């Protein structure tokens, strides 16, 4: 593996461990030339999953896009990056287990919202405000009432 810092073509693995419920191998590496350490991930190559947008366009599912949205929702919350990446892995796992090669973007959004309810309520409201395109305070109040009812059911 090429060092991302000095571009040396060889590095050695100093630690390997399973991540994301055994679906990924996380490797800590050290460059023999500059001595800096970096992390790589080895994942199973999957068949492409296409997301069908509201306007009918299709685009490949992007874990990075999902991760970015969740990070934005969790901004300034006491949630570690590890918790967020594990959360995103759960969502991706559920989406990929739908067994369909194409999934509507609405379904992706609903899966994320359902998981966020139990993960972090503030992140849920932030995500919902963008996903559902809230245009006034009434929308926020309605969503808060839905969240309150969900919490009381538990």
Q: What is the pLDDT of residue 133?
A: 86
**∠ Cα 121 84 110 (to 5°):** 55
Where are the domains positioned within the chain? 1-45, 46-153
Residue 87 or residue 47, greater confidence = 87
Q: Is residue 108 a contact partner of residue 65, using CB atoms and an 8 Å limit? A: no
Q: What is the pLDDT of residue 84?
A: 95
User: Can you name the residues that pair with 40 across neighbouring β-strands?
Assistant: 27
Alpha carbon 46 to chain centroid, angstroms: 16
Candidates 51, 57, 152, 150; CA nearest to 109 is 51
pTM of structure:
0.66
- pLDDT band for position 135 (cuts 50, 70, 90): confident
Residue 23 has pLDDT above 80, yes or no: no
Residue range 33-81, pLDDT digits in tens: 999 999 999 987 777 899 999 999 999 999 999 999 999 999 999 999 9
Alpha-carbon gap, residue 18 to 41, rounded angstroms: 10
Q: What is the pLDDT of residue 46?
A: 72
Alpha carbon 103 to chain centroid, angstroms: 16
Residue 146 has pLDDT above 90, yes or no: no
């Amino acid at each position: 593996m090429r060092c991302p810092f000095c571009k040396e073509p060889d590095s050695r693995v100093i630690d390997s461990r399973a991540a994301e419920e055994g679906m990924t191998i996380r490797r800590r590496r050290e460059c023999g030339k500059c001595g800096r350490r970096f992390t790589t991930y080895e994942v199973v190559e999957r068949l492409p999953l296409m997301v069908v947008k509201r306007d009918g366009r299709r685009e490949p599912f992007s874990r990075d896009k999902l991760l970015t949205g969740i990070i934005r929702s969790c901004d300034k919350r006491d949630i570690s990056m590890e918790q967020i990446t594990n959360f995103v892995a759960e969502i991706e796992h559920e989406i990929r287990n739908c067994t369909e090669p194409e999934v509507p973007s609405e379904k992706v959004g609903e899966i994320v919202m359902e998981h966020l309810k139990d993960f972090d309520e503030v992140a849920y409201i932030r995500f919902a405000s963008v996903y559902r395109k809230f245009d006034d305070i009434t929308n926020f109040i309605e969503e808060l009432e839905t969240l309150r009812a969900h919490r009381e059911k538990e």
